[in-house]
Structure 1
Amino acid sequence: MKVVKFGGSSLATGEQVQKVFNIIQADEDRKVIVVSAPGKRFSGDIKVTDLLKTYADQTIAGDDTTNIVLTILDRYQAIADFFGLKENKIIPQIKQTLLQLNRVHYPSFDHLYAAFMGHGELLNAQLIAYILQEIGQPAGFISPTDLGMIVAGSPRAARLDAASYERMHNFQYNPDKLLIVPGFIAYTNDGYAATFSRGGSDITGAILARGLQADLYENFTDVSAIYAVNPSIVPHPKSIEKMTYREMRELSYAGFAVFHDEAIIPVIEANIPINVKNTNDPTAPGTLIVPNQAITPTYPVTGIANDDRFAALYLHRYLLNREVGFTLKILQILASYNVSYEHMPSGIDDMTIIFDKSQLTPTIKAHISHDLYQTIAPDELEWLDDYAIIMIVGEGMQRNISTLNKITDALAQANINLPMVNQGASQISTMLGVPVDQMNEAVKVIYEAVF
């Protein structure tokens, strides 16, 4: 049995939905279908999820929401019209649900946003199930709660209650009927809507693959494979046929857009392979993501990822390595401002702490600097806001000791500075810190050096 997730671009129009139906019908093992909200139809278009956020904003502000409701409804109406469903029960039902959203009392604005934005997937799943039934395909909408999924935590960053897996294991479904499940949205024990964080529909798909003990988790998007590097930086890069879970996680963390790095944890824990495929080219093999032990590396490097969302704090103090509790004092200061760190490479007298800069404001940085001067008295302290990270990842790097030399030599010849080089603890990755304005050129140089 396969759990199959379709992204927003795969479901943006009636034409795209027809492609999805063709894919489903081409393989009888595709039984559980996880759907996203309709995405962008063209450059400059607005995703339904973003339209729902506008609806939530206007509701909170007390504005007239008539136009935004009609705009959202039109997106679903256009898909229904493509299949000739001029007179149907589903569109009035969707309209009523949309109108009801701003008549409900929510415990907080976060609960309100979760309910509004999660309905993009929920309404699309209901629409897809209805259309399938109308064209003669046995299918039914099923809510996450009916499957046994219960979540807790923040309304907009929900986490799965671990007991949900046992409930999903015991779920009985008709193998002759497709299950259409909304991604992104789930419900708490109290019945409140909640949404997963970034990559929410991917998280739902991975949870269901594990919970329903799927043989394969297929994730359909708008690319025919995962590429070894960002195609907007290096034209026509090498595609990746097969990679390991930990390669995918390392690359996702540092900028690969295919998966948020947390999204595939459920299938990793269950050792379920993932196949990333293209809705617009479904016969292409795509990229297979497999357990760490299920691959023999062909190349030292599998992929190169980059991201400029980071900031760094450089500290210098003589003999910092000899002071017991030195790092603990720093971490306690960061924790007091609810700031987590990403990496902390250090030397005998120096330390660089790397952060996701979305956590930092000028005020927080000033407070951290003040407390550090008071507590550890550094000889030097400098914030580096112009900071990008490049991650070079590959299972084969463990057995190819010359790879890093090739990379650093090539960067030196290109006159690209490396403020930081950090060999990953996993031994399958190397992290480089570079100035933001040299990031893209550095990625090109590294790609040429290793591929």
Structure 2
Amino acid sequence: MKVVKFGGSSLASAQQIRKVGQIVKSDTERKIVVVSAPGKRYSEDEKVTDLLISLAEKSLQDQDYSLEMNKIVQRYQEMAEELSLNEEVMVAIESRLDQLAAGDKSHPDYYIDAFKASGEDNNAKLVAAYFNQIGIPASYVSPKEAGLLVTNEPHNARLLPDSYEKLITLREREEVVVFPGFFGYTHEGDICTFSRGGSDITGAILASGVNADLYENFTDVDAIFAANPSVVENPMAIAELTYREMRELSYAGFSVLHDEALEPAFKKGIPVVIKNTNNPNAPGTTITKEHTKEHPPIIGIASSSGFMNIYIEKYLMNREIGFGRKVLQLLEMYGLSYEHTPSGIDNMTLVLREEQVSPSIEEALITTLKEKLQVENVKIERDVALIMLVGEGMRDQIGTMATAAKAFKDQNINIDMVNQGASENSVMFGIQQKDEDKAVESLYRAFFD
């Protein structure tokens, strides 16, 4: 049994949905299909999810949302007409949108989540109808019917483990199950969505829940590449990588998979294959628990911007019991989360996402650190990019750091911070954001050319 997930670009138009139908039809093991909301058909197009969010926000403010409503209905209408679907599909879709608009507005977060989820939900109904029309016995199954239960956290829900007790019954269905991604239901019956891009998470949850042999994630690229193709020209495709390597790459900027998506598959050891809806015969990239093929020491190079460093210096910091705990408590007091904490004997650096630190919070944090912890120096540096070298083979490779340092030196790029975990699966460099693309290109030439 295979669980297959199709992203927004794979379901953006009637033409794309026809491709999806042929992919499912070509392999009878593809028994569960997870769908996203319609994505962009071209670069200037609007995603249906974005239109739904705008509609919900206008409705909450009692503003006219007819423009957004018409655009959303038109998107589904165009696809339904091009696919020659029965009118019942559009009646169900429009009825659901009207029902949501008239829903309870007393809890805005739940109201918005219900609208966001409808993008996937309505698309699943449309795709199921199309499958049946082309001879694939299929049925739309909602997360509520399947028993996909989530925490009571709008926009950032987490799966409740007792969901698996009911999800396993999806194996017993003879027809193809078409399942909307991105959301589940709380015990109270409210809709809560995963974080943005969460249809990947739904696919992995179902693969785990039904003990699938394979989880296929169809998108719009032939494979995962060793570096960003928009930065490096014709980068090498990665044939195979491990869950751990993919997790590191996703965190550091690879947007092929949601960075939380692999956990359910990882726990069950289910292989994940990234494939291209527009070129389904391409082998894609396989993500497994352990490498089964020969592989280079460095699998990929990723980068992500929008970080900041808080540099704290205090003499004899290493002798002061509880100093690190006190620093993190102050971050918690200001509602801040940190990413990394490289340190020396008398100093430590906190790496944070800078979007959460406003100028007023920055000023208050500096004052509090100096007053409460008596630190000698606090320096904040914004516009930081993190560059990540990833590969489980680097632990056995001599000279990785030397090669990276020379690549930076040749391009006159200063390294502000280096951080390597105990697992030695990755090494991270903090640099100025303006040098991000140049650094990735330089490292790619050093390790892959």
TM over 0.5: yes
The alpha carbon displacement at 1:172 in A equals: 5.1
- Alignment partner of 1:432 is 2:391: no
Q: Distance in 1 between matches of 2:245 and 2:257?
A: 12
Partner of 1:95: 94
Say if 1:329 and 1:375, in contact at 8 Å, map to a contact too.
no
1:343 to 340, 343, 363: 340
Q: Distance in 1 between matches of 2:171 and 2:134?
A: 25
The alpha carbon displacement at 1:295 in A equals: 3.5
Q: Distance in 2 between matches of 1:107 and 1:218?
A: 39
The alpha carbon displacement at 1:297 in A equals: 4.8
Partner of 1:280: 278
Amino acid at match of 1:251: L
Partner of 1:15: 15
User: Any idea what SS the aligned residue of 1:153 has?
Assistant: coil
Q: Distance in 1 between matches of 2:239 and 2:195?
A: 28
Partner of 1:334: 331
Q: Distance in 2 between matches of 1:13 and 1:404?
A: 47
User: Any idea what SS the aligned residue of 2:364 has?
Assistant: helix
The alpha carbon displacement at 1:364 in A equals: 1.7
For each residue in 1:243-299, what CA deviation from the matched residue of structure 2 results, as whole angstroms up to 9, or x when unmatched? 0000000111111111222121111111100000000000000000000x3435521
Say if 2:241 and 2:291, in contact at 8 Å, map to a contact too.
no
1:323 to 320, 323, 348: 320
Matching of residues 408-447 of structure 1 within 5 Å: 408-447=405-444
Matching of residues 191-202 of structure 1 within 5 Å: 191-202=189-200
Matching of residues 150-165 of structure 1 within 5 Å: 150-165=149-164
Alpha carbon RMSD of aligned pairs, Å?
Answer: 1.3
- Alignment partner of 1:119 is 2:118: yes
Partner of 1:221: 219
TM-score by length of 1: 0.97
Unaligned runs of 5+ in 2: none
Q: Distance in 1 between matches of 2:241 and 2:257?
A: 13
For each residue in 1:32-78, what CA deviation from the matched residue of structure 2 results, as whole angstroms up to 9, or x when unmatched? 00000000011110000011111102201212233321210111111
For each residue in 1:156-195, what CA deviation from the matched residue of structure 2 results, as whole angstroms up to 9, or x when unmatched? 11111111112212445323x1100000121111111110
Q: Using the aligned pairs only, state the percent identity.
A: 46
Amino acid at match of 1:130: A
TM-score by length of 2: 0.97
User: Any idea what SS the aligned residue of 2:158 has?
Assistant: strand
User: Any idea what SS the aligned residue of 2:157 has?
Assistant: strand
Matching of residues 377-416 of structure 1 within 5 Å: 377-416=374-413
Say if 1:223 and 1:278, in contact at 8 Å, map to a contact too.
yes
Amino acid at match of 2:176: L
Which 4+ residue blocks in structure 1 deviate beyond 4 angstroms?
none
Matching of residues 173-212 of structure 1 within 5 Å: 173-175=172-174, 177-212=175-210
1:237 to 235, 238, 242: 235
Partner of 1:6: 6
The alpha carbon displacement at 1:30 in A equals: 0.3
Matching of residues 247-266 of structure 1 within 5 Å: 247-266=245-264
The alpha carbon displacement at 1:236 in A equals: 0.4
Q: How many residues align?
A: 448
Moved more, 54-63 or 279-288: 54-63
For each residue in 1:82-136, what CA deviation from the matched residue of structure 2 results, as whole angstroms up to 9, or x when unmatched? 1223x52111221111111111114411001100111000000011111222233
For each residue in 1:318-359, what CA deviation from the matched residue of structure 2 results, as whole angstroms up to 9, or x when unmatched? 221121111111011111122111100011222111001222
User: Any idea what SS the aligned residue of 1:234 has?
Assistant: coil
